[in-house]
Structures are given as structure tokens and as C-alpha cells.
Amino acid sequence: MSAALDVSGLTTRFDTRGGSVTAVNDVSFSVESGRILGLVGESGSGKSVTGFSIMGLVDEPGQVVAGSVTVDGVDLRSLSDDDMRKMRGSRLAMVFQDPMMTLNPVLRIGDQMAMAVRVHRKMPRRDALEESRKALEIVGIPSPAERLKAYPHQLSGGMRQRVAIAMALLHRPSVIIADEPTTALDVSIQGQILAEVRRLADDIGTAIVWVTHDLAVVSSLADDICVMYAGRIVERGTAEQVIGNPRHPYTQGLLDSIPARQEPGGHLPQIPGSTPQLSRLPSGCPFRPRCSRATEQCKSEPPIDSRDGQIVLCHHPLEGS
Amino acid sequence: MSKPLLTIDQVSKRFTRKPGLAERLAGRLTGGGEPVVVHALTDVTLEVARGEVLGVVGESGCGKSTLGRVVAGIHAPSDGTVMLDGKPITRDQRGTAEKLTTQVQMIHQDPFASLNPRMKVGETIAEGPRYHKIIPADAVSERVGSLLEQVGLEAAYADRLPHQFSGGQRQRIAIARALAMEPELLVLDEAVASLDVSIQAQVLNLFMDLQRNLGLTALFISHDLSVVRHVCDRVAIMYLGRLVELAPAKDLYERPLHPYTSALFASVPTVGTGKRVFEAIQGEIPSPINPPPGCAFHPRCPQAGPRCRREVPRLAQADELRTVACHLNDGGVA
């Protein structure tokens, strides 16, 4: 089965007066229909810019300089602006961290959803509203017909995020890019939304890229995980592989520093130092200065090490079990 | 338990918003126009022993930050009293309030907002002790240097400005500023929530080391259950302005008694392999402007009965060390 989304060698650069910064560096992955890929990283790792690059939403001074993005076999980078606009929202949709980035505060939910339906498909307004109602139903919004008449400010944060997800679903896209969509929500509401998202992938077969800093969320939600550091994917594999048997020292370090995995009150294993600035990356492996396994060899570009489909960018990967 | 350092006794905090002119006029026509009252805290009773770290956990709107602010003397309680070392904290007597500001120190969530961007960090740390004459003027710079070293930075950093530091380093500076006042009690309001996981571990380690070495007492407010379990001795769970469960951390995590606590634990994703089903709590958090009658959790509670809709459950002793506010533990829900 071919992948719904295929990203290959994607590289995004920001040329600023202070110099050129490669925010996304040779990123490759693919997501099949019905699967959820977790794209994990700390702040500044390039995970969000990767999402925006796939959507073709990187603004000046940023620019996608290399690589390809394919959705259902269509190469997005070869499309004209007009054709790309037709793809966005219909075959490919995005959910943002703040639902108010998606929702227009002065329009009723039903009005803006019907508008979004009719941008891509010619149909009477009445039918578009019915489509919208169905989408709200799918994401578990109670009394959806009533909610169509509400304004965004009348809904809670969790409800707004559900509406944003419902809007992304309107045209049954093959791919949804979700950028930290539950980060601002309370845990009980996050739990409800994660359950709905899992159901969307399983029942409707949407391919989902879930961008987040939260390893706990992806480990319970995602099928596959990519770990990003300083613009690159440093480890990629199934959730079982990456969480259960991490091979990159950075992934291992991240997992160890989560309090829930350690004895309460004990010293938490920590990664020394802080995330590097992209404009001042060390030569070779960018994780080198913080890595306990680093040697002279790490001053050269790290090689790709692959085992059972689990890929690591490291000179000295952990052997694991 | 020895004599508590902090005693919070039946504290309530209400925020009232007076209606504007237009609302009053509209109110005169329609019979509304009453002031809007937010019940941020209702009847909270708590004690914190000297040297103890008490976690305060809850979702947004549960009143955990308001509780921290009342303890730090930023808000005066609407009802009830807060006592530090047996002496009531009141805002009316100016002398007391000033003494209080030195005894309770707060560490905020956002180290980008809590440090003055135009003040050298050494000045930021020295300002409090200098004003309150806690250390002699000629010893200030030495003290600042040793505080910076205590939080894992270099003494020479005193001459730098906040923008030269990362988020984790800024939070260290905020901790140094709080410690400079030699406080009796620290209030940490989501102090690690804005940090990346790897940096969060560094700051938590620092906090635990300082807490043990200096015997600090702290109110650790957080929404993150795994962080709270790691650093706290006892944990208070809050829901819609009320305390619903209070227990030693170990007991609480092994066997939660309140249905809300159990539901909260069930909805938190944990790092592990293998698929899991999210057992979501149904429904949403009600508005603190118009809390439901009876137990505030009853509309979302799978075990609620008729009594839960009528009667507010009292916080009752469940065993020697723990208290819980639920009819299930106090005669049944029927």
C-alpha cells in the first residue's frame, strides 16, 4: 500500500540578516492511511516548521529549499499556488495549537463551516450546513445542530478545538497535520480528544501527523514516532521501538528525564546543557556537546544506522535489547 | 504532625465584577444586572508542616493559583484565615503585610515575564534583601554570587541581563531571587510548566536538592501529576474551588479515593509501549460563576447518586493520614 503522505529530504531554510538558519534539515518520513505519526521534539527542534513546510505555509524569510512532499501521489512542490490552495483544506488539512487561529470570532460556527465546505465543493448552503453538522457529530460534540448557531466565544477551549478538528475533516482529507492541538487543554479534555483522534484514524483512515513536545501523548497515541533535534530527525521507528528500545542517546535522555519513569523523590537523570541555537550549531552531530557517548568521531556528520526499520542518526547508537 | 508552618483555615475567595453602566441600564429594564461573582475558592482548609512539600493539583479553574496567591498575600481571602507560624496573615496591618512579603516567596510559571528585562540579574536578586535590610549592604554582592552558584550558575553572571539566558537558566535566577529573601515558605506556581522536558529535569533536581539541604517548605502548584508525584510529600487535589482529596503522595497515587482523582489519573497519558484506551472523563468543567448544586463533580461522576445532587460533601477523615470530600466515603450516595 502506498503512503498517503511521503516526505523526502525536506529542507527549510531561513535567510536572515544574522545569517542563514536551516530549521528543517533533510527530513524524510511517510505515513500510511489510518496511521498516526508522532513528530516529537523540544522547542527549536524544527517540528512545527516541518508541519508548516508540508502545508506550504512557510513565510518569508523562510523557504523550502530542497526535498519533496507527496500527498496521494501528487507532488505538492510542483503545484502552482492556485492548485496548492485547492489541495489545502481538501486533501491536506492542518489543526493548530490555538483553535482561534482557525476560527473567525465574528462568524457563527455554522456559517464559517459551510463557507469552508463550499470553497471546495459546489452545493446549496443547506447541504453544506448538514455536512458541517455531521462533521461536528464525528468529533463528539453534543447537540451539534445547536452548536452550528453558536459563536466561537460561546464554546469552551476543548469544544473550539473539536470544531477546528471537525473543520479539518470537512472534505475527508487524506492527511491531517496537527500541531500541538491538545497542549493548551486540560488533561481530562485532552483525553477525550485523543480518543476521538485515534477513532478518526482507525475508522475513517485519515493519515495523521501529530506534532508535539509531549512524549507521553505520542507514546499512547502514535503508531510511529520521529524524534527531532536541531532540525533533523535523529531517530525514527514504530512507537514500540522508539519508546521501548530507544537507540539514540538523545531519545534515551528524554525518556529518562520524565519524572513518571523514575522512583519518586530520586535524582532525575538529566541531559546537561540546553538546546543549541540553530545559528550556532557545532560541527558534525549537533547533539555532541550534550552527549555522554560522544567521541572525536562525532565531529564528523553522523551516519544513518538502521535495524529492523528503526533508523538512528548516530555514530554510537545504543545497542538496546 | 508537628506544629504546622502554614495553616489555611476555611478560606474562601470570591471575585466580584460590578456590572458596567450599559449592563445596569439593561438590568433595570429586564430585572437582571446583578454583580457577577466567581467562586474561585470555597472553604479550603489545609496545613503544611515545616520542611514539607505540598502539591496542589487540579485543572484550569480549580482555584489552585488563587490559593497560591492568597497564601503569598497577593489576594486577601474573602472568608477564613491564613496563618504562617501561628500568626495570621492580613493585609490590613501594613507592618504584618510587609513582614509577610519576605517570609513567603513566589516563583512564577513564565521566567520571561517574571524577570525585569532591563535589570541586571544581580540587581534583581539583590533588590529584595537590600530593601528589607536582610543582609548588610557591603555583603550584598558576595551573597548574590553565592546564590547564583547555589542554583548552578556562575557568580560572574550577575552582570548579565535576562535576555542572555535560556528559559531554564532564567527559572534558576527566579529561584535565586526567592531564596535571597530567606523565606519560610516558597509558593511555586507551575514553575516548570513552560520548560522542555530535559530542562525541566534539571530544574526539578535543583529544587529537590535545595529543598533538602535548606529544609524548605513549599506549596508546589502544578497540573502535571507525574511532576507532583516526584517532588511532593503530600498532595491536595482541587476541583472547582474546593479541596476534594488530600493524602500522602504515595497513598494517593496507589489508591485514589475520590472519583475525580481516579478519573484524572486515568486520563493522563503515560509513557509506555503498547496501545491504550483513553478513559476520558465525560463532560466539561462547570463554570465557577454558577457551580452545580451539591457536589461540584456530580454531573461528570460515574458513581453519583441523588444525595450528590443535594448535599455538598464535607471533607472527612478517610484514614489516619488522608481526607476526602465524597459521599461514597461518608455514608453513601443514595
With a cut of 70, say whether residue B101 has pLDDT above it. no
With a cut of 70, say whether residue B277 has pLDDT above it. no
Say yes or no for a CB contact (<8 Å) between A191 and B168.
no
pLDDT digits (tens, 9 = 90+) for A281-312: 889 999 999 999 999 999 999 999 999 999 99
pLDDT digits (tens, 9 = 90+) for B127-162: 999 988 888 888 999 999 999 999 999 999 999 999
Predicted confidence at residue B35, as pLDDT, reads: 79
Q: Any chain A CB within 8 A of the CB of B14?
A: no
With a cut of 70, say whether residue B259 has pLDDT above it. yes
Residue A61: cis peptide before it, omega within 30 degrees of 0: yes
Predicted confidence at residue B95, as pLDDT, reads: 54
Predicted confidence at residue B33, as pLDDT, reads: 65
Alpha helix segments (H runs only) across chain A: 47-55, 81-87, 109-120, 125-138, 144-147, 157-169, 187-199, 215-221, 239-244, 249-256
Predicted confidence at residue B98, as pLDDT, reads: 60
Cα→Cα distances B300→B38, B207, B239, B296, B326, Å: 21, 36, 12, 9, 14
The H or E element containing residue B264 is: helix B259-267
Q: Is A275 left (phi over 0), alpha (psi -120 to 50) or beta?
A: beta
More confident residue, B32 or A55: A55
In this complex, the residue of A195, A213, A253 whose CB is nearest that of residue B278 is A195
Say yes or no for a CB contact (<8 Å) between A192 and B278.
yes
Among the ranges given (A181-185, B224-228, B318-322), the one the predictor scored with the smallest mean pLDDT? A181-185
Confidence at B24, pLDDT banded by 50, 70, 90:
confident
Give the chain A residue whose CA is nearest to the CA of B272: A219
Say yes or no for a CB contact (<8 Å) between B230 and A215.
no
The count of other CB atoms within 10 Å of the CB of residue A216 is: 20
Predicted confidence at residue B278, as pLDDT, reads: 66
CB of A100 within 8 A of CB of A108? no
Which among B319, B322, B314, B328 has a CA at the least distance from the CA of B10? B314
pLDDT digits (tens, 9 = 90+) for B65-83: 999 999 988 888 999 999 9
Predicted confidence at residue B297, as pLDDT, reads: 93
Q: Pick from A238, A268, A290 the residue to mutate for testing the B interface (most B CBs within 10 Å).
A: A268
Predicted confidence at residue A60, as pLDDT, reads: 87
Question: Cα distance from A15 to chain B (closest Cα, Å)?
Answer: 23
CB of B332 within 8 A of CB of B307? yes
ipTM beyond cut 0.85:
no
Give the chain B residue whose CA is nearest to the CA of A243: B273
The count of other CB atoms within 10 Å of the CB of residue A203 is: 10
Measure the CA–CA gap between A279 and A19, rounded to whole angstroms: 7
Confidence at A25, pLDDT banded by 50, 70, 90:
very high
Mean pLDDT to the nearest integer, B218-225: 94
The count of other CB atoms within 10 Å of the CB of residue A221 is: 25
Share the mean pLDDT of chain A.
92
Predicted confidence at residue A116, as pLDDT, reads: 94
With a cut of 90, say whether residue A66 has pLDDT above it. yes
Predicted confidence at residue A108, as pLDDT, reads: 96
Strand partners, B239: B242
Give the chain B residue whose CA is nearest to the CA of A277: B166
Say yes or no for a CB contact (<8 Å) between B264 and A188.
yes
Find where cell 522536558 sits: B197
